[in-house]
């Protein structure tokens, strides 16, 4: 028997955990690549500032990894406790990438430890830099494997259900489902993009505080270039994601776009307010939804009129789509203007107001990541396993989930405050000016 209260609290706790974890997970995937690029540039240019970028970022990265491990463990625990019926079914099919994700993390953690504790032990800095390759690969592959599980929830395959039992289970086929390519690519690219913009916002903030050190200027320029590259990639992959939805989950696309009637030459709707299936105050881009869905301005786009009301995702996901797209466009424009301005020597990119825009870009990028994940998960409703198991069918019948929610919320508050305080103190007490001075003194003593 379905306990509606348990279903509600289970969804709330899962949403809370995923929303908190995704911040640290995104940074955990993207930062290793930023560290590796910085150290490579420093090695090629023989520039100590880029080497110090890698070294200082690595210190902060350890803190985010620690919190990410705790929240990732909580997710694994909650899947078993809150969604036992789902895990009983899906665990038989998609357990392989869950195991491989753990292996990828161990791979990353081992080489990260070696990298951190051997900074001054390698005479050949190139060999030390190569330790970052398995760290970056391990971090990205962790995201790949866990995203494969999420993709399976949206496009389940690799099994048959006969007389209520799973047969003909093919784990590899389940992993390489139709949702996997676009989901994995989008998660990786947006993690890299977000990490670049978060680090850029820190560099811009230090410049605004009065530090005019070339270290921060080099960091800002490199990160904004990387952010621009990954923002372009995210837009391209987002286009492919729209085409995937049009073919495999058209009701999700229709709900996100408030597309109620099936029609040819469909317009894309931005913003607006919904009043009893009437969209008001929206910006309509003619034919854009047909182009997004089928690369054809005259193509037919399926509307919500083709689906039973109980199978339609919550319509508020349209606002999540708007948030994600608008922030993405803002960051693309900001990074594009900054990079172009550097090449053309535009003075205004050094102004306070423009730097504040870059500072805002860090938190905004995190908000875009949150909106994107909410869109992905809420947009799959009412299914936990698309087409096979509804969300309420996969939930626990326990009546104590609300207590668990309070407990985990307290844990996450402590982790958030603790990690922020540690990171601030770590870098506030050891500014770049002091670190460079100390290193020069050490080098002089060695000479």
The model's pLDDT over 344-374, given as tens digits with 9 standing for 90+, comes to 888 888 888 888 999 999 999 999 999 998 9
Does residue 442 carry a pLDDT above 60? no
- Residue 79 has a pLDDT of 79
- Residue 368 has a pLDDT of 92
Query: Residue range 53-66: average pLDDT?
Result: 84
Contact 381, 219 (CB under 8 A): no
Joined tokens for residue 46: 């023989």
- Residue 404 has a pLDDT of 83
- Residue 445 has a pLDDT of 43
* Of residues 126 and 311, more confidently modeled: 311
Distance of CA 286 to the CA centre of its chain: 30
Q: Given pLDDT bands bounded at 50, 70 and 90, which one contains residue 440?
A: low
In this prediction the pTM is 0.89
* Of residues 317 and 444, more confidently modeled: 317
Does residue 181 carry a pLDDT above 80? yes
pLDDT digits (tens, 9 = 90+) for 378-424: 988 888 888 888 888 888 877 788 888 888 888 888 888 888 888 88
- Residue 185 has a pLDDT of 92
Q: Which of 89, 172, 81, 85 is nearest to 407 (CA)?
A: 81
Distance of CA 356 to the CA centre of its chain: 23
Phi-psi region of 163 (alpha: psi -120 to 50; beta: other; left: phi over 0): left
Average pLDDT, the chain: 84
- Residue 193 has a pLDDT of 93
Q: Which of 255, 93, 236, 95 is nearest to 174 (CA)?
A: 93
Contact 268, 284 (CB under 8 A): yes
Instruction: Annotate 153-178 with DSSP letters as a single string.
Output: HHS--S-EEETTEEES--HHHHHT-T
- Residue 233 has a pLDDT of 93
The SS3 assignment for 279 reads strand
Pairing of strands 263-264, 268-275: unpaired
* Sign, CA torsion 264/268/269/274: positive
């Amino acid at each position: 028997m379905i306990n509606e209260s348990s279903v509600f609290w289970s969804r709330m706790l899962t949403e809370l955990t995923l929303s908190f974890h995704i911040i640290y997970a995104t940074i955990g995937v993207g930062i290793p690549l930023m560290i590796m690029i910085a150290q490579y540039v420093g090695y090629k240019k023989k520039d100590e500032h880029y080497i110090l970028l890698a070294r200082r970022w690595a210190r902060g990265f350890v803190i985010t990894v620690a919190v990410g491990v705790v929240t990732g463990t909580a997710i694994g625990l909650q899947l078993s406790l809150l969604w036992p019926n789902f895990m009983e079914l899906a665990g038989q099919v998609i357990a392989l990438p869950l195991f491989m994700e753990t292996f990828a993390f161990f791979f990353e953690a081992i080489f990260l430890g070696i990298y951190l504790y051997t900074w001054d032990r390698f005479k050949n800095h190139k060999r030390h830099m190569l330790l970052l390759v398995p760290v970056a690969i391990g971090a990205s592959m962790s995201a790949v494997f866990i995203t494969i599980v999420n993709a399976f929830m949206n496009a389940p395959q690799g099994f048959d259900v006969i007389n209520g039992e799973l047969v003909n289970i093919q784990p590899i086929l389940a992993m390489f489902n139709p949702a996997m390519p676009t989901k994995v690519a989008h998660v990786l690219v947006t993690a890299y993009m977000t990490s670049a913009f978060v680090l850029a916002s820190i560099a811009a903030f230090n410049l605004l505080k009065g530090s005019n050190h070339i270290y921060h200027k080099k960091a800002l320029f490199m990160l904004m270039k990387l952010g621009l590259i990954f923002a372009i990639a995210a837009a391209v992959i987002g286009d492919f994601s729209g085409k995937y939805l049009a073919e495999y989950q058209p009701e999700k696309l229709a709900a996100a776009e408030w597309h109620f009637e099936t029609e040819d030459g469909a317009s894309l709707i931005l913003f607006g307010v919904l009043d009893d299936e009437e969209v008001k105050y929206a910006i309509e881009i003619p034919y854009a939804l047909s182009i997004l869905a089928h690369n054809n301005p005259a193509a037919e786009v399926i509307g919500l009129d083709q689906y039973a009301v109980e199978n339609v995702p919550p319509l508020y996901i349209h606002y999540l789509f708007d948030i994600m797209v608008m922030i993405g466009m803002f960051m693309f424009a900001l990074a594009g203007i900054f990079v172009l301005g550097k090449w053309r020597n535009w003075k205004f990119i050094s102004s306070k107001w423009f730097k504040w825009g870059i500072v805002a870009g860090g938190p905004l990028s995190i908000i875009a990541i949150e909106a994107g994940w909410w869109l992905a998960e809420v947009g799959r409703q009412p299914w936990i396993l698309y087409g096979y198991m509804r969300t309420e069918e996969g939930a626990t019948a326990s009546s104590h989930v609300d207590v668990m929610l309070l407990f985990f919320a307290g844990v996450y508050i402590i982790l958030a405050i603790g990690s922020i305080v540690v990171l601030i103190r770590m870098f506030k007490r050891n500014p770049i000016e002091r670190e460079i001075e100390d290193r020069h003194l050490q080098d002089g003593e060695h000479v």
